[in-house]
Each structure stands twice: as structure tokens, then as C-alpha cells.
Amino acid sequence: MSCISLLVAVSMHIGLEGSYNPVHPQVRCTVNNTMAGVYYNSEDQFSSYLAQKFGVLEVGIVTGYKSAKVLPMVRIIKGNWFIAPAYETNPKNYGVVLGFEYKI
């Protein structure tokens, strides 16, 4: 059995001023509660990540964003829905990403 999943997420960026890509195709490998993957991020770049799932909480690290080479990653998951904190550097601003993720 393979650990590979193909997914697509659709997201809204709430409280942020920039213009962000709302569609995120993704390839993920999940073994037990550990996930690794690559996705097309909100800044129109490819990101890779490594995360651990603890119930409804996913915690990990992610690459591929303009603000830093490696960033912390946190998502709260409920079914196919997720919410994650967001930060933009210019202007400095905080918000959230609300999304829906499904397997293809």
C-alpha cells in the first residue's frame, strides 16, 4: 500500500491585504501521523513541508515562502476544513487562512 495522496485545497485569506493564489494542488505522503509533501502555495511558489498530526492539530515546518527559507506551520483540521494563522511582511499584517482540502 502506498503512502501517497493527491489533494487539492481551496483557500480564503482573511485579514490580509495582498492578492493570494486560492488553489493549492498537493502531493502528500502520510505514515502513521507524520506527513511530508509538496504543494503550490498562496504566493505562486512550490512549498515542501514536514508535519505531525495530533488529533485536530497539525504542527510542522514549511519552505517556499518569501518571508523566510523555513517557517513554522500550524493548522487546525475539522473534516476537510482547515484554518491556519497567516502573516504578510509588506505591510506587516496578521490574518488567517480558511480552506477546504480534498483527495483527488
- pLDDT tens digits for 2-35? 899 999 999 999 999 989 999 999 999 999 999 9
- Count other C-beta atoms under 10 Å from residue 6's C-beta: 10
32-72 pLDDT, tens digit each: 999 999 999 999 999 999 999 999 999 999 999 988 899 99
76-95 pLDDT, tens digit each: 999 999 999 999 988 889 99
What is this structure's pTM? 0.91
Q: What angle do CA 5, 2, 6 make, to 5 degrees?
A: 10
